[in-house]
Amino acid sequence: MFSLPFLLGFAGTIVAVLGSPGSPSLSSRVLHEYRRDVPTGWTLHKRADPDATLPLSIALVQPNLHNLESYLLDIADPESPNYGKHWSPAKVAETFRPSPETLDVVHSWLTTDGVDPARIQLSRDGSYVRLNVSVAEAERLLATQYYVYQNEDGATHYGCQHGYHLPEHVSPHVDLVTPTIHFGTLTASFGPSRRSEHSSVKSSGRLQRVSQGVTPLTAASTADSGSGCDEQTTLDCIRQLYGFNYNVAAADKNTVGILELGTQNYNASDLDAFFKTYAPDEVGSRPKLISIDGGSENPGQSNGGLVTESDLDFMLVMGLLGKKQTVYQYQIGDGIGGIFEPLFAAFDQQYCKDAGYSGDSSCGGTMRTNVISVSYAGGESGPTSSTQRTCNEMGKLALSGLTFVLASGDWGVSALPGESCLKPDGTVDKIVNGATSFYPDFPATCPYVTVVGATAVKEGGSTSDPEVATSSFPSGGGFSNVFARPSYQDRVVSTYLSKYAPSYGADIYNRTGRGYPDVAANGNNIVVAYYGRPGTASGTSASAPIFAAMIAAVNDARIAAGKSPVGWINPALYSSTFANIFNDVTEGDNPGCGTRGFPAAPGWDPVTGLGTVNFPRMLSRFMALP
């Protein structure tokens, strides 16, 4: 079985650590987690001030996670008699609540090592123990040394790169501790931090601030006939490509949200300029803000490099669904520690308070929309404990009926630009430095999310012609090194590997891993507006919100008919029941890491997934389910 020596937490090396006065004089500890390298973009800055305060978070081992996939299949497999019977948040919390033994062991360790019990707090679902400690206390508790790290933007992070230790009897009860070796490394699939050559207004060369790169279109196309969609993909092009003409019927009961990060925000004038041409009845419409960890909207944002992502998301989802459907804007604060823990915290009040996310008065009371579109991603590298924990939390939310739709990334078989690939020891580096293994994207590799690759209308073609994989940029796709191939993928992925996969060596990619993307949608030359003028943009960050809008429409129809939202959709999409809803994409590839990547092929492939969807057929299949 393919394996790269990723930076795992383990209980292998036992060390003796001298305790402080008042604690046991000698305590056997094991190395719980470590990492070999500092993530790309971060550098060690200095030793941490021993008196600085750290919000220590201890993620406890949760029972029943080995059953998570079977629980999900029971409510998401179209053949299951329990299809659509999503769990309540209370049932989810109780099923995965850590055992009393785990709580006792961790609590006893902390108090024995000198922590006042009054400082120890437990999240409402019992999954996290949190306490504020000084750096000196953290170093004693974890037998480590803390440093301050700095990223390219000047942001700082407290961590202990070389690992931390736990008492031998405590380690089996803890998934991970933060802040330690985990760095927030998620970035936008279409955003200024990625600075990709393709994710930009057409002819701009690089996505930077709009003032440096926008070349306005001389005339914005309406593409009513379906021609010209190879050069300018309008809302009408998208409707024609997928038969997506839907009138919302249950807007007051249905919900859809889009995740945005930091200072990336929409520009209200741009929205109106876009709507004036392509959705006149939506002029003046705005997304509804849900602030998380201090996130705020800035509809007057004038920095073009910070509006690109949000403008694109809201123009597409709002434009395709129409004025009646409210679209929610999950705006995360600075996101330095990542974007998913603040999101999970926003759904759990006690979790939120314990974690210190105090920027929003609705902290912990945040509504869960039925669909969340996410165009931020990072690489599947670093500690697998954090990767697995994030994926499991997404799976638990899917149990309650939430659909995560994610962009697959814009660099082919690499998760980052600039030919960033994996070396034999699992670290990320350039090809010239010996990094030749494919670098999967996370959270796209999580089996509990639906991942969308990008397609394009073939040059000179129309919306009636088969689409191709994008060539202006390589759509992200490949196989996980952390998550095994889920059962719902077995048939189609095995077919691809046996008939169409390139003959790369076993050290290049993991043939037994979860394959991605799942589906595809157009992500090429999407017409948008910047500074009130039309332009075009490309990236899987367009593909994800397009598909999310279609799933939101499916939910609307089901809710109007008295049925539940679809929730986790992957088992249905891969089932024989849904086999004829796809427009197969068989042309193109996704190069990277010094190779041509993977070729598109009949059926599923790691470039465009199962293909693009025929919306009327997809809607019909979902409506036929209970």
Active centre residues (catalytic): 309, 313, 541
* Cα angle 527, 315, 548; round to 5: 105
Query: Using CA atoms in the order 466, 238, 471, 417, what is the torsion angle rounded to 10 degrees?
Result: -140
Residue 165: which residues within 8 A CB-CB, separation 6 or more? Answer: 15, 17, 29, 30, 31, 32, 142, 143, 144
DSSP H helices, 279-322, are 304-321
* 3-class DSSP state of 272: helix
Q: Which long-range contacts (CB under 8 A, 24 or more apart) does 339-345 make?
A: 339/184, 339/186, 339/259, 339/261, 339/376, 340/186, 340/390, 340/393, 340/394, 340/443, 341/390, 342/292, 342/293, 343/259, 343/292, 344/393, 344/397, 345/292, 345/293
The beta strand positions in 200-315, using DSSP E, are 256-261, 288-292
According to DSSP, the β-strands at 14-18 and 42-47 are: unpaired
Which residue do the tokens 């699992």 mark?
A: 426
Residue labelled with tokens 């690489």: 379
Q: Which residues, including other chains, have CB under 8 Å from residue 54's CB and lie 6 or more apart?
A: 132, 133, 134, 135, 138, 146, 158, 179
Cβ–Cβ < 8 Å for 274, 310: no
SS3 of 241, please? helix
The helix-helix angle for 304-321 and 235-242 (nearest 10°) equals 50
Q: From 468, 463, 456, select the one nearest 228 (Cα to Cα).
A: 463
CB 199 within 8 A of CB 473: yes
Rounded Cα–Cα distance for residues 521 and 340 (Å): 24
Spatial separation of the C-alpha atoms in residues 380 and 444, rounded to whole Å: 9
CA distances from 341 to 55, 329, 351, 360, 451 (A): 14, 17, 10, 15, 20
* 486-492 long-range contacts, CB within 8 A, separation 24+: 486/69, 486/447, 486/514, 486/570, 487/69, 487/73, 488/73, 488/77, 488/570, 488/571, 488/574, 488/575, 489/514, 489/515, 489/574, 489/604, 491/574, 492/574, 492/603, 492/604, 492/610
List the structure tokens of 72. Answer: 């999900």
Cα separation, 183 vs 186, in Å, equals 9
CB atoms within 10 A of CB 139: 18
Strands (E), 464-607: 468-469, 478-484, 513-516, 519-522, 526-530, 533-537, 582-583
Contact of 600 with 589, CB cutoff 8 Å: yes
